[in-house]
Chain A
């Protein structure tokens, strides 16, 4: 497992796509949310309504609630793009033939990819919280209150769970042998989650549960509804590793 982990980490750490996506995820989301703080003193009722939780309840609590809404969509896109690249790239650049006839099983290589993805996902989630807090301070929210800890933990939890609901993308990219197909799957998950929220099925629709949970401060989604993310991700992990082990280069 260690050679595969080292290989996958080396590729991830040196890839321009991953570096760019990480920067957009961490700095981009933090700047997007914090820049909205500049408009909270508006006298325009229409604009104030659009700012939602940034106005009411406002402050750090409203700021992180807004960050949760942005993270649920933007992080899903970012995580999905990287995951799709990780599992589709060898098919696109032809290096997949080199991953056969090795003393390391392809299922091990797939598991190494997912492990490296999980570490990167967790690291990006923590970095995003740090960037959000720093940007909040810089944009005038004042000192970080101690009672912000639950909301901050929810922000990290949301990002990690968003990474988990993106895992089926790895399976799609593997089956289709295509990075683009994986990105298509991310967009599909994003659209399905939004439709579920609008139709009121959000809590029980696993793909939208983490976003609803964080944005509502934990009020609108139960623990059981949230935990359903885990079997979904586990199933995707199993399907992806089995698909890699049974892979044939027949097209």
Chain B
């Protein structure tokens, strides 16, 4: 059996009594999209930061492709969490070239890699513009392109469809599915349940810092199932005071 792309066990990091993630277990297999859904403040971004080493867990463990955070080959990982790695004074092309260098793509391969990702995200009209002059949507496309251009085996994207127009959403979906077909493991968070249902193999629901259940991506009324899970969890915590409530 192939090693897991991402494996988190009992990961915990609380910022105070109410905010953070508590005892989360989550796996992402190679060749699948695992979606993380939850309301604002549920802990999705915090969990992703823990998985990427941006935060250190107070307890629990994280492994990427079978290795601990300290030993992970980060060249195999691509991510976009909240803000794109893009510098406003540099053009789209230069940002992508530097992103490729920082992911240790050999210099001789960089022009072809950049051309390829520019085409995949339809960034040709903007390629020589400083990124500060891009629209929010094109800036998001640039961030996604920078995160994915090195064909990572592990992909972590936090709300990747934010600011994207419908065309951008389709381009992202196609690129992600192509990566999955090559064996990449993808963890993606989103508010858009219908969009998630189109690409996810599994959907986990995060609420108040804990995984409270899963949704069937092929389910008929996924939105209703989501709110039922959240409502039941909120009700259970209210009726069981002191059971470890952690609202963010």
Contacts and interface: CB of A to CB of B under 8 A. Distances in A.
B194 to A, nearest CB: 27
Interface string B102-138: 1110000000000000000000000000000000000
A14 B83 CA distance: 21
B60 interface: no
Given A101-B74, A101-B77, A14 B102 contact: no
A248 B49 CA distance: 9
Contacts of A11: 87, 89-90
A10 B83 contact: no
Interface string B71-92: 0111101011111111111100
A97 interface: yes
Given A15-B89, A93-B83, A95-B87, A249 B75 contact: no
Nearest to B15: A250
A6 interface: yes
Contacts of B55: 248-250
A16 B88 CA distance: 11
A192 interface: no
Contact of A103 (B74, B87, B143): B74
A249 B72 CA distance: 19
B173 interface: no
A96 B94 CA distance: 18
B149 interface: no
A104 B79 contact: no
B54 A101 contact: yes
Interface residues of A, number: 24
A96 B85 CA distance: 8
B202 interface: no
Contacts of A99: 85
Contact of B103 (A6, A10, A102, A249): A102
Contacts of B54: 97, 100-101, 248-249
B81 to A, nearest CB: 5
B53 interface: yes
A88 to B, nearest CB: 14
Contacts of A249: 49, 54-55
A100 B52 CA distance: 7
Interface string B43-71: 00000010011111000000000000000
Contacts of A3: 98, 101-102, 104
A95 B89 contact: no
B179 interface: no
A62 to B, nearest CB: 41
A98 B103 contact: no
A239 interface: no
A105 to B, nearest CB: 9
Interface string A109-148: 0000000000000000000000000000000000000000
B49 A98 contact: no
11 contacts: A3-B98, A15-B89, A98-B80, A98-B85, A101-B52, A101-B77, A102-B102, A103-B73, A103-B103, A250-B15, A250-B55
List 10 tightest A-B contacts by C-beta distance, closest first: A98-B85, A94-B83, A3-B101, A103-B75, A14-B89, A101-B52, A249-B54, A103-B74, A97-B81, A7-B98
Given A3-B101, A6-B98, A248-B56, 9 more contacts: A3-B104, A6-B101, A11-B87, A14-B87, A93-B83, A93-B87, A100-B52, A100-B54, A101-B52
Interface of A: 3-4, 6-7, 10-11, 14-16, 93-104, 248-250
